[in-house]
Amino acid sequence: MQTTHYASVLAKIGAQRSNLLSEAKLKTLSDSQTLPDFIAQLQETAYHTQISKIQLPLSERKLERAFNENLIETCQKIIKYAPPSVSEYLQIYLLHFEIENIKLLIKETLAGYSTEQKISKIYSSASRYVEQPTVFENAAKASNLPQLINTFKKTPYLSALNRGLNNYNKSGSAACFDVFLDVFFYDQLYVSYKKLPETEKPPANLYASIKNDSYTLLSILRGKNLNYDSNELRLTIPSNYFHLTPKEIDAMILTPTFDSALKIVLNGHYANYFSKEPSPEKTLSKAEQRFQYTVIKHAQNSPRFFFNIGLPLAYITLKETETFNLHIIALGINASMPSEIIQKQLFVR
């Protein structure tokens, strides 16, 4: 039965996995002298449809959008062919882009952008909870935050957005919207994981737990470094964790300094991901890289043919990594960085 359920998505992944760019190809791309040269080398890849629609002048932001549109299309294909019992969890990858749309609309409404400018920048095909395109169209027409938030009144985002608005009215900082929307994302990730069939949870656990728990730990430590008080800090983290305990989280929140919070982490489940570096910023950056490498290596080493959610998650992770690498290359070329410097920033296979 499991074999039958996964036959279609295995075939789809098998056809697309061969299109992933090799390490040698990424290095060749990083040798490009200009963005047009970079684009020319991508014409024979899976990205040709998206990059062919880019209007001149070229920019790394336009390229990033094209790469993300390709990733969204890939995720939609995997979800379409995956068994219904796991599709809700896989839609987490579309939820990320839907939330990015809302963040962008908030920022550009505050900046006074036109409706057309806003619509041109959102990912209209990324749909998880906002199934009607008119919701984003109406949000783009809003001239102020209350109007914008009202367009999402029939979606699960309303509570997070209202919390953000209340905080914004007090502090004047729009960063609170990002925080509450991120917390919403990780709460939904946890709920979706819990809804998976019991047989599907083990292959999904590493992907879900590292994504959720690393965000929680890094958020608390960043808050400590920025001297957030405990009440502010509690608002920045999800409600649930995988390999962290409420006691551990409370201790980190209530401890007075970054160093004392880090000490708690170094005695916990994720101790191997953290090391004492010359500065808190370096400590956090190194830890974030280690979390990312763990997930990527896990995806790279996963067997190619098994009949559970592990294969779709491995493939989507590798595709995400590829789009990240392409964006880094575009940034480097645009900044006239030497290819060897660009290559050091890549997550290569």
User: Tell me, what's the pLDDT at 349?
Assistant: 60
Per-residue confidence (pLDDT) for residue 303, from 0 to 100: 75
pTM of the shown model: 0.94
Q: What percent of the chain has pLDDT over 70?
A: 98
Whether 46 contacts 16, CB under 8 Å: yes
What is the sign of the dihedral through the CA atoms of 275, 281, 284 and 286?
Answer: negative
Contact assessment for residue 112 and residue 73, using Cβ atoms and an 8 Å cutoff: no
Say how far apart CA 52 and CA 69 lie, in whole Å.
12
Specify the pLDDT at position 307.
Answer: 87
Element at 100 (helix H, strand E): helix 92-110
| pLDDT value, residue 2 | 63
Cα dihedral: 216, 219, 221, 222 (round 10)? 170
Domain ranges of the chain: 83-196
pLDDT in tens, the chain (349 residues): 567 788 899 888 988 888 999 999 999 999 999 999 999 999 999 999 999 999 889 898 999 999 999 999 999 999 999 999 999 999 999 999 999 999 999 999 999 999 999 999 999 888 888 877 789 999 999 999 999 999 999 999 999 999 999 999 999 999 999 999 999 999 999 999 999 999 999 999 999 999 999 999 999 999 999 999 999 899 999 999 999 999 999 999 999 999 999 999 999 999 999 999 999 999 999 999 999 999 999 999 987 667 899 999 999 999 999 999 999 999 999 999 999 999 999 997 6
pLDDT at position 304 is: 65
Calpha distance 222→219 (Å, rounded)? 5
51 and 327 in contact (C-beta within 8 Å)? no
Residue range 83-196 in CATH 1.20.1690: yes
